[in-house]
Amino acid sequence: MINLKLIETNYDEFNAKLKAKKVDDGVLASLLEAYNSLKAKKLELENIQAIQNAKSKELGIKARNKEDVSELKAQLEINKKELQTLSNIVNELELNLEKIAKSVPNIIDDDVPLGKDEDDNVCILSVLNPREFDFTPKEHHELGEALGWLDFSTGAKISGSRFTVLRGDGARLSRALVNFMIDFNISRGFELVNVPFLVNSNTLYGTGQLPKFADDLYKVDGEDLYLIPTSEVPVTNIYNDEIIPASKLPIKMTCYSSCFRQEAGSAGRDTRGMIRQHQFEKVELVAITKADQSDAMLDEMVSCASDMLTALGLPHRHMMLCSGDLGFSAAKTIDLEVWLPGQGKYREISSISNTRDFQARRAKIRYKDDKKNNLAHTLNGSSLAVGRTLIAIMENYQNSDGTITIPEVLKKYF
């Protein structure tokens, strides 16, 4: 959740950064009004409490001196009722402010470029040159169907649209990628964790998926359980409501999981092939750090994912997301986009974000440093989306006869 103290200490900058993230003026006005109303009532409550304390002290002195305290007792009783009324009002105002703040995204970092959408993202690095083909490269769905690797019709039959069955060497390549990614991340110091694929609403609130993105989630009827949209959710929340010794930070974790998304806002997009699926596999990176470690950790995580793509021989580029394309919880995001020769364009394959203390405030993730509890910083990133990496290998390593060459680093996994 956003740091509401910024409303008072630096409102103009706070307001500008939220507007850059497409937050509606009406929401910002409601947030400011709710904050000011709460502040005014809290001050009123504190003043009456101070009066009540002073009169209670006076009552004690007069009682010891055997003076008449009947009038003072009556005043204290009136004040007590007023205090209770004000306390109830303050509680209601706090709930109202929290309700508004829950749906307000994280503010952007100072170096995030301003922009409206993905067209305003900035390329900051290109890695490897795309291969030059002496034939017209095909898209993955055409290659996969011809090889018997990708079975879209069976996926649709047993589940519906945006589901795919992988078969034979296609399934083996997918599994090889998972093992390669996990081994690669472990070699970079990330601890492997396995987590549940079903989580409760408090867990999803902690990382920012609820309440705003409920429509994108698959919920179990009659239970407080949801299928995870990404393993960032359960992995980050391993430390929900915990205080971590500063000496244990940074904590670096990697996790393989299936992910489930309704893709409610993507109707008509990427309907062919397996670019955008309701169920997909991903290997995730998650880090929990002290505040002064998160910038360096973002660079480390970006390098880890980029080096993995380089090891696979896949041309890609680093894109700094503009303000209008940033995710809800992110203060800064670097996307890695891989070259797909069949499509003739770069497509996102990894998204690595620093959320600063936004998620930690919601999930109550703290660390103890010099006898003081501080909010941690959390980071997350795909390393990599398995299906899209499979697609990238198929399109970049295709041969003129329709076969696929397996990258050297993956051969030991076959």
If asked whether residues 197 and 240 sit together in one domain, one would say yes
**131 assigned ligand-binding residue:** no
Give the pLDDT score at 114: 98
Per-residue b/e over 167-176, b at no fewer than 16 CB within 10 Å?
eeebebbbeb
| DSSP codes of every residue in 86-118 | HHHHHHHHHHHHHHHHHTSPPPPPTTSPP-SSG
- Per-residue pLDDT of 260-305, as tens digits, reads 999 866 666 677 889 999 999 999 999 999 999 999 999 999 999 9
Give the pLDDT score at 98: 94
Q: pTM for the complete prediction?
A: 0.93
Give the pLDDT score at 49: 95
If asked whether residues 137 and 87 sit together in one domain, one would say no
Given pLDDT bands bounded at 50, 70 and 90, which one contains residue 371?
Answer: confident
Helices (H) and strands (E) in the chain, counts: 12, 16
What number is the average pLDDT over the span 23-44? Answer: 96
Residue 395 scores a pLDDT above 80: yes
Does 63 fall in a domain?
Answer: yes
What number is the average pLDDT over the span 109-113? Answer: 98
Residue 345 scores a pLDDT above 80: yes
**261 assigned ligand-binding residue:** yes
Report yes or no: 137 and 117 within 8 Å, Cβ to Cβ.
no
Does 107 fall in a domain?
Answer: no
If asked whether residues 247 and 129 sit together in one domain, one would say yes
**44 assigned ligand-binding residue:** no
The CATH number given to whatever domain includes residue 368 is 3.30.930.10
Asked which of 102, 130, 154 is the last residue of a domain, the reply is 102
Report yes or no: 177 and 149 within 8 Å, Cβ to Cβ.
no
Given pLDDT bands bounded at 50, 70 and 90, which one contains residue 199?
Answer: very high
If asked whether residues 153 and 226 sit together in one domain, one would say yes
The CATH number given to whatever domain includes residue 48 is 1.10.287.40
Helix/strand/coil for 202 = helix
**351 assigned ligand-binding residue:** yes
If asked whether residues 281 and 189 sit together in one domain, one would say yes
What number is the average pLDDT over the span 60-69? Answer: 88
Asked which of 45, 74, 102 is the last residue of a domain, the reply is 102
Q: In this structure, are strands 251-260 and 191-192 parallel, antiparallel, or unpaired?
A: parallel
If asked whether residues 303 and 354 sit together in one domain, one would say yes
Nearest one of 171, 182, 219 to 199, comparing CA atoms: 219
Does 109 fall in a domain?
Answer: no
If asked whether residues 87 and 219 sit together in one domain, one would say no
If asked whether residues 279 and 405 sit together in one domain, one would say yes
Q: What's the domain count of the chain? A: 2
CA distance 54 to 335: 59
Give the pLDDT score at 62: 87
Does 50 fall in a domain?
Answer: yes
**142 assigned ligand-binding residue:** no
**231 assigned ligand-binding residue:** yes
Does 113 fall in a domain?
Answer: no
CA distances, 119 to each of 178, 242, 320 (Å): 31, 40, 11
Give the pLDDT score at 90: 97
Rounded mean pLDDT of the chain? 96
The residue segments making up the domain with residue 65 are: 5-102
If asked whether residues 96 and 122 sit together in one domain, one would say no
If asked whether residues 93 and 213 sit together in one domain, one would say no
Give the pLDDT score at 63: 87
Share of the chain above pLDDT 70, in %: 99
Give the pLDDT score at 268: 64
- Per-residue pLDDT of 353-365, as tens digits, reads 999 999 999 999 9
Give the pLDDT score at 320: 98
Let me know the angle formed at the C-alpha of 214 by 212 and 220, rounded to the nearest 5 degrees. Answer: 155
Asked which of 38, 72, 102 is the last residue of a domain, the reply is 102
If asked whether residues 27 and 69 sit together in one domain, one would say yes
Report yes or no: 39 and 31 within 8 Å, Cβ to Cβ.
no
**329 assigned ligand-binding residue:** no
Does 369 fall in a domain?
Answer: yes
Residue 401 scores a pLDDT above 70: yes
Does 133 fall in a domain?
Answer: yes
Helix/strand/coil for 73 = helix
CA distance 409 to 5: 50
Does 208 fall in a domain?
Answer: yes
**349 assigned ligand-binding residue:** yes
If asked whether residues 258 and 316 sit together in one domain, one would say yes
The burial of 242, by beta-carbon neighbours within 10 Å (0-12 exposed, 13-18 middle, 19 or more buried), is given as middle
CA distance 411 to 255: 22
